[in-house]
Structure formats: C-alpha cells, structure tokens
C-alpha cells in the first residue's frame, strides 16, 4: 500500500475503505474483515453514517495493531460551536473505541466552521487527533477558514470521479499544500461511468476492470481515494491497483471525459447547508 505524506508529516495510506450507508452491523463487520485481509489499513467513517460503533468494534476485534490503522471520522453539521465540537469528537472517539483519531474532518462548510476548526486545532495540539482536515469545502470556504486558522487542513475530501474531475479545485489544493481526497470515486452508481467505452477500452489494454482504471487515475493524480464496497471480490479488486500505471495518453483520454457532473449535494447550496444542520 502506497502512502502519502500530509503537510504535517503524518503518513496516510493512499487508498482506503469508505463505509457510507453501511449500517447493518454484520455487513459492516464482514466488509471490514475482508478489507483487512486484502491489505487495507485506512478506514473512513462519519458521525452521520451511524456506524462508528460498528467500525470500532470490527477494528477492535481485528488482529491488527492500532498503529498500523488509519481511522478517519467526520464532524456533522448540527454541531456549530467550539464546545459542541469537543463533545461531538469525544463521543465519536468513544463509539470508535479509540484513544486517538488519525484524522478528523469538518463534514460540510455549514454554519460555524471557523469555530469548529478552532476546537479541532486544540484537540490536534492535545494529541487526540493526528491530522485535521475538511470535506466538501470549495475555494471560498477555504479562503474564509484560512483567515482564522492556525493549522492548515491536511486534506479536503471532495466528490471526484471522471465525470466530475474538480480540475480547478484540484489545482488550488495543490497550491495550498492540502491533499485532494476523493469520495464517490467511482461515481456512486449514479452515472454510466463504469460502462464508459473510453474507460472500458483503457481497462482492456491493461487487463484490468474499469473500476480499477478509475482508481488508478485518482492515484496518479496524487489523490487519496476511499472507494466503498460491501462485496469481498470488489473490495479485493479495488486495492489491486498498484501493479500497473496508466499512460500519458490514458490520462489525457480520461481528462476528456469531464462533464462537471456532480452526483450529490452542492456545497454552495446554502439552503441545503442550512437544512443539514437540523439532521441527526
């Protein structure tokens, strides 16, 4: 497993397992066990996924040393103040059955994110979080955050796939020394990206699946990537992407597939952000 060094020196496995919408305990345990057996050590969850307990139990029962694991969780939008952020973090840490978190992210740029960041900086300085970052932040949100931040985020976890390549934001993150982390890297099944003929042709040339080609594209862009699956074979296939490289022509062809086609909520949608603060 290749690792990326974040701007604070912490190393993160470049590929991990996402567990969005995996709420069934047995399914969650089975997928985490399959991932561990396949070589995954990076796991990404969030308060709003309602499965931190299950992730924590599965990892606690695994025969893997804590220092080999990289566990990320995220602060949900109904938390808006400094004190609430600290309490929410402590609750997540308890559910995950951990003494510290490898990475903690602000999930969306909803109300109060500068204050939330201040609390996360203190938790970081206390050694309870090894790295802090953001998710779904656009350029304007990063600009506002950095007016008060004393610690630069290590990552921005954003929706990214061949039909939504985030080219401008990708470049900005590079300039800010913030790592681009891709969620929904395979399009979340909301488009025909996995059956795209250009990707299928590239996959055939490399004797790989279309999903593997997409994940390899993310990796070669320097992104951290967290594909989600509950199927053992796909979990195994998704990590089997470190034994080949896409050519410059392959990368150029995939770049040409961009449609700026977002598949999920828009971080600039203020009405949605306001509604999200009422969600549990």
**CATH code, domain carrying 204:** 3.20.20.100
Is residue 278 a part of any domain in this protein?
no
Q: Catalytic one among 40, 49, 113, 163? A: 49
What pLDDT shows up at residue 1? Answer: 77
Helix (H) or strand (E) holding 197: helix 197-206
Is residue 219 a part of any domain in this protein?
yes
Determine how many CB atoms are found less than 10 A away from the CB of residue 191: 17
CA distances from 261 to 28, 225, 269 (A): 30, 19, 15
Per-residue pLDDT averaged across 200-220, rounded?
98
Is residue 39 a part of any domain in this protein?
yes
Look at residue 248 and give its three-state secondary structure: helix
Between CA 230 and CA 238, with CA 236 as vertex, the angle to 5 degrees is 85
Between CA 14 and CA 24, with CA 18 as vertex, the angle to 5 degrees is 155
Is residue 67 a part of any domain in this protein?
yes
What percentage of the chain has pLDDT greater than the value 70?
Answer: 100
> Is residue 49 flagged as an active site residue?
yes
Find the domain containing 47 and state its range: 3-260
Q: Is the pLDDT of residue 222 over 80?
A: yes
What pLDDT shows up at residue 173? Answer: 98
Is residue 270 a part of any domain in this protein?
no
Helical spans, DSSP H, in 21-68: 25-38, 52-60
Q: Is the pLDDT of residue 85 over 80?
A: yes
Per-residue pLDDT averaged across 82-103, rounded?
98
* pLDDT tens string 159-198: 999 999 999 999 999 999 999 999 999 998 778 999 999 9
Q: Is residue 69 a contact partner of residue 59, using CB atoms and an 8 Å limit?
A: yes
User: What value does the mean pLDDT of the chain take?
Assistant: 96
Is residue 145 a part of any domain in this protein?
yes
| CA 222 – CA 224 distance, rounded (Å) | 7
What pLDDT shows up at residue 191? Answer: 84
- Residue 25: pLDDT band with limits 50, 70, 90: confident
Domain count, the chain: 1
Could you list the beta-strand ranges (E) of 37-196. Answer: 42-44, 70-75, 101-106, 129-135, 155-159, 179-183
Is residue 273 a part of any domain in this protein?
no
- Residue 120: pLDDT band with limits 50, 70, 90: very high
Is residue 113 a part of any domain in this protein?
yes
* pLDDT tens string 128-147: 999 999 999 999 999 999 99
- Residue 23: pLDDT band with limits 50, 70, 90: confident
pTM: 0.96
């Amino acid at each position: 497993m290749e690792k990326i060094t974040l701007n604070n020196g912490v190393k993160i496995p470049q590929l991990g397992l996402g567990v969005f919408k995996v709420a069934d305990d047995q399914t969650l345990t089975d997928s985490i066990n399959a991932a561990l057996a396949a070589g995954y050590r990076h796991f990404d969850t969030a308060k709003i996924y309602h499965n931190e307990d299950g992730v924590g139990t599965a990892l606690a029962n695994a025969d893997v040393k804590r220092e080999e694991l990289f566990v990320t969780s995220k602060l949900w939008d109904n938390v808006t103040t400094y004190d609430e952020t600290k309490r929410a973090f402590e609750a997540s840490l308890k559910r995950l059955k951990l003494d510290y978190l490898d990475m903690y992210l602000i999930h969306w740029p909803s109300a109060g994110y500068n204050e939330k960041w201040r609390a996360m900086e203190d938790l970081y300085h206390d050694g309870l979080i090894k790295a802090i970052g953001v998710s779904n932040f656009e350029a304007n949100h990063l600009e506002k955050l950095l007016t008060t931040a004393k610690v630069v985020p290590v990552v921005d976890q954003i929706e990214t796939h061949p039909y939504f390549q985030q080219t401008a934001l990708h470049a900005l993150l590079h300039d800010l020394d913030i790592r681009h982390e891709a969620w929904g890297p395979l399009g979340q099944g909301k488009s025909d990206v996995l059956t795209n003929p250009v990707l299928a042709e590239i996959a055939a040339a490399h004797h790989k699946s279309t999903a593997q080609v997409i994940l390899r594209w993310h990796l070669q862009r320097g992104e951290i990537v967290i594909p989600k699956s509950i199927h053992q074979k796909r979990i195994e296939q998704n990590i089997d992407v470190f034994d080949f490289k896409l050519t410059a022509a392959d990368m150029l062809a995939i770049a040409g597939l961009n449609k700026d086609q977002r598949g999920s909520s828009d971080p600039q949608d203020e009405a949605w952000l306001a509604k999200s603060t009422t969600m549990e």
